[in-house]
Amino acid sequence: MLYNDKKRFLDFYLKSLNEYGDDPRSLHWIDEKSQNTRFEIFASLVNFADKSVLDVGCGFGDLFTFFLSRDIPVAYTGIDIIPEFIAQAKEKLPGINFKVEDIFSIDEEYDYVVACGALNFNVTDSKNYYFSMIKKMFECSKIGLLFNMLNNAEQKTDETYFSYNIEEVRAYCQTLTKNVTIISDYIPWDFTVYMSKE
């Protein structure tokens, strides 16, 4: 991510954090239900139990909290480029592995890599940047990658958010694996992609 994009990104989220604190609205979710709806979709696609999970753009570690609430045991690692989010996550969930890290600096492999709401902020050359993120995340996964994006049929790209054509995303993902599942019937402006190596 270019310096100016990263500065815009940090300013955008820190403004929300200062306003809302430890709250899904700081991460620009409508509310906790909206956030959990996306987590439920992930959990409906794969069995996370007893697997290692890398959560890219983990925010406050809410995906791990979701796993706890569903009694799903995982070896969890959360990464985010916003230090204040990671500090909040560590305070809320002591002993859990949270790191200020960018996906492109990750060398380890995990059973599953997930990214919830992490591919939507409009940056320079957004499509190519986020497609390169998809490739890197998939390379870091042993079993598969799950992520969601904004559907441009319902949510238009603007100065803040970048939205995608579902079939264009599918076509790109199929250059990496033929095992691609897309779900788009849960929230009109959102869709979820599961890329499997199995």
- Fill in the DSSP letter of residue 182: E
Instruction: Provide the CB-side half-sphere exposure for 79 (13 A, CA).
Output: 16
With cut-offs at 50, 70 and 90, classify the pLDDT of residue 3: low
Residue 159: predicted pLDDT: 80
Give the sheet arrangement for strand 141-150, strand by strand. 97-100, 74-80, 51-56, 110-115, 141-150, 190-196, 180-183
Lowest-confidence region among 49-58, 84-93, 120-129 = 120-129
CA angle 87, 193, 187 (to 5 degrees): 85
Q: How far apart are the C-alpha atoms of 122 and 56, rounded to whole Å?
A: 17
User: Which domain CATH number covers 113?
Assistant: 3.40.50.150
**pLDDT of residue 29 exceeding 70:** no
Considering its fold, how many domains does the chain have in total? Answer: 1
**Residue 160 exposed, middle or buried by CB count within 10 Å (0-12, 13-18, 19+):** exposed
Q: Is 70's pLDDT higher than 60?
A: yes
Per residue in 104-148, pLDDT (tens digit) is 999 999 999 999 988 988 888 888 999 999 999 999 999 999 999
- Domain residues for the domain of 33 are 3-196
Q: pTM for this structure?
A: 0.90
Q: How far apart, in whole angstroms, are the C-alpha atoms of residue 186 and residue 82? A: 29
Among 146, 183, 122, 141, smallest CA distance to 63 is for 146
Q: What is the DSSP string of 66-102?
A: HHHHTT--EEEEEEES-HHHHHHHHHHSTTSEEEE--
